[in-house]
Amino acid sequence: MDLDAAGRVAVYDPGMNDSETSNPGYWSPPQRDGQPIEVIGHADLVGSKSVSQRVILLAALAKGSSEIIGAPLNEDLQVFIDALVSLGLEISGELPGPLHVQGCGGQLPPGDRRVDLGVNGTGLRFITALAALRQGETIVDGVSHRPILPLVKALRDLGRSASCTGEGPPVKIGGGSLTGGRVVLQAAVSSQFTSALMQIAPHLPGGLQLRLTGPISSRPYIELTAALLRAFGVAVELTHREIRIQKVEFLRSGRIEVEADASAAAFPLCAAAIQDGDVTVNGVGTRSLQGDRSIGEILKEMGCRVEVSERSIRVHGPPVRAISRSMEGTPDLVPAVAVVAAFARGESVISGVSHLRVKETDRLEVLCRGMTSLGIRAEVRGDLLRVVGSDGLDLRGADLDPAGDHRMAMAFALLALRVPGTRVIDPACVAKSDPGFFTRIEALIGQQETTR
């Protein structure tokens, strides 16, 4: 292993994924004199991918020019921007910005188009809804296992010709015109169907009255969409199962600063928890719009010492007790919290997890397989994830395959901090949302000698 410019051990190198390298992947950092690795310091986060995709889309639909500051550099967001540009919308600037978006005033350029969102599930749903505002045929493609049918049915109910292949893409948006009005949406699979419809609602002649049926997954993301619509000048009425959005003449344009990514904040904070560390993340706190800001509350419930301000969260480990908690509203926190649960006393039960099966991969299967390979007792029963905590002394290192899923690679990196001899295969898949993830984690390890 090599030393970086500061003399620290560099355990992650993007070049490690080269087929000619003898030991590809991210390995557990080396311990000094057999002592556990300490994770200490401050972490500055990238901008929120969830917020960025919403504000870029709304700015593209607005009247006038908008400047977007703080959008993160990652594969998902670049694919999303490329799709918007291919539909004729004007976006200039390079990630991480600033980006300049020339709004179309709700009048998208016509013509037949085909766009591919790849593994960007949020982009797939948002672009599908946006395409319904266009004149001409639009084919929206993406990975086949990401469900889209509930959104397609809703668009048909609103007056547009729409079809998909089975439950997933490709989606074809054809003739007809959107009338708006009342529509019923099955909300259990993904909140992104709801958010997609909400963002085009101000441009529907009859506005939108949306009725959500069944369990409502990831509700904080719906609330995030509502908050951003209001920032663009749209009146939104939001109750438990009803959403009302009136037609507006134009969305506002202006200068928008993207807040820090609360999902990304969870991993350095959980690293502090499992390693008895002391980490502060900057940019996420009580003023954040994202539901994943609740990571501080969850870790406090598990016995960590937590300090939360408007713009920061500080966590001191270790966790001392298991939790029983529904995380239906915060699915991106489940992998990191499950790792913390593996080192807390007792059995943790996390409910509301079934929709993690249709993310970039089946996250429940991949997570449990990886944890059990280390000797952690973890299993899924229906909508419940059960993890039995321990002191970790009997765990053994193993190769952990995230199956190309960025959140799985991040969760497995936490396990590698705690369990010597663990390797995360294909660490570069974190580029989907956060290419700097491993650099940020290593910087916290490297700060221990200067901060304590």
189 against 117, higher pLDDT: 117
**404: alpha, beta or left? (left if phi > 0; alpha if psi -120 to 50):** left
- What per-residue confidence (pLDDT) applies to 8? 30
Are 283 and 309 in contact, with CB atoms under 8 Å apart? no
Per-residue tokens: 117:
């969102």
Cα–Cα distance for residue pair 130/167, rounded to 1 Å: 19
- What per-residue confidence (pLDDT) applies to 390? 92
Cα 327-332-336 angle, rounded to 5 deg? 90
Choose, from 141, 292, 332, 434, the residue flagged as catalytic. 332
Q: What's this model's pTM, rounded to 2 decimal places?
A: 0.90
Structural domains present in the chain: 2-47+261-451 (3.65.10.10), 49-257 (3.65.10.10)
The amino acid sitting at 327 is M
Cα–Cα distance for residue pair 330/294, rounded to 1 Å: 8
Per-residue model confidence as pLDDT tens digits over 90-106: 999 999 879 999 999 99
Nearest to 146 by CA among 173, 115, 120, 172: 120
332 belongs to the catalytic site:
yes
3-class state of residue 377 by DSSP: strand
Question: Could you tell me where the DSSP H helices lie in 214-281?
Answer: 219-231, 262-274
Element (H, E) at 209: strand 208-213
Q: How far is CA 114 from CA 59, 121, 140, 148, 214, in A?
A: 22, 16, 6, 17, 33
Mean pLDDT, the chain, as a whole number? 90
pLDDT at 4 over 50: no
Per-residue model confidence as pLDDT tens digits over 19-71: 333 447 898 887 766 677 889 999 999 999 999 999 999 999 999 999 999 99
DSSP 118-183: TT-HHHHHHHHHHHTTSSS-EEEE--TTS--HHHHHHHHHTTEEEEEETTEEEEEEEEE----EEE
Per-residue model confidence as pLDDT tens digits over 220-271: 999 999 999 999 999 999 998 999 999 999 999 999 999 999 999 999 999 9
pLDDT at 10 over 50: no
- What per-residue confidence (pLDDT) applies to 32? 67
The amino acid sitting at 6 is A
Element (H, E) at 101: strand 99-102
Candidate ranges 38-42, 311-315, 317-321; pick with highest mean pLDDT: 311-315
3-class state of residue 285 by DSSP: coil
Per-residue tokens: 113:
């188009």
Q: How far is CA 28 from CA 7, 193, 229, 434, 438, in A?
A: 18, 39, 43, 20, 12
- What per-residue confidence (pLDDT) applies to 446? 60
- What per-residue confidence (pLDDT) applies to 230? 96
- What per-residue confidence (pLDDT) applies to 419? 94
Per-residue model confidence as pLDDT tens digits over 385-436: 999 999 999 999 999 999 999 999 999 999 999 999 999 999 999 999 999 9
pLDDT classification of 13: cutoffs 50, 70, 90? very low
Flag the least confident range among 27-41, 109-123, 314-328, 372-386: 27-41
Residue 403, classified by CB atoms within 10 Å of its CB into exposed (0-12), middle (13-18) or buried (19+), is middle
**118: alpha, beta or left? (left if phi > 0; alpha if psi -120 to 50):** left
* Bridge partner residues of 197 (DSSP): none
Flag the least confident range among 1-5, 152-156, 315-319: 1-5
372: phi then psi, degrees, rounded to nearest 5:
-70, -30
Per-residue model confidence as pLDDT tens digits over 178-205: 888 999 998 888 899 999 999 999 999 9
Q: Report the DSSP pairing between strands 40-44 and 26-27.
A: unpaired
Are 256 and 66 in contact, with CB atoms under 8 Å apart? yes
The amino acid sitting at 102 is Q
Element (H, E) at 211: strand 208-213
308: phi then psi, degrees, rounded to nearest 5:
-120, 130
3-class state of residue 9 by DSSP: strand
Cα–Cα distance for residue pair 244/240, rounded to 1 Å: 12
Q: Report the DSSP pairing between strands 181-186 and 208-213.
A: parallel
183: phi then psi, degrees, rounded to nearest 5:
-145, 150
Nearest to 399 by CA among 376, 378, 377, 416: 416
* Bridge partner residues of 209 (DSSP): 182, 244
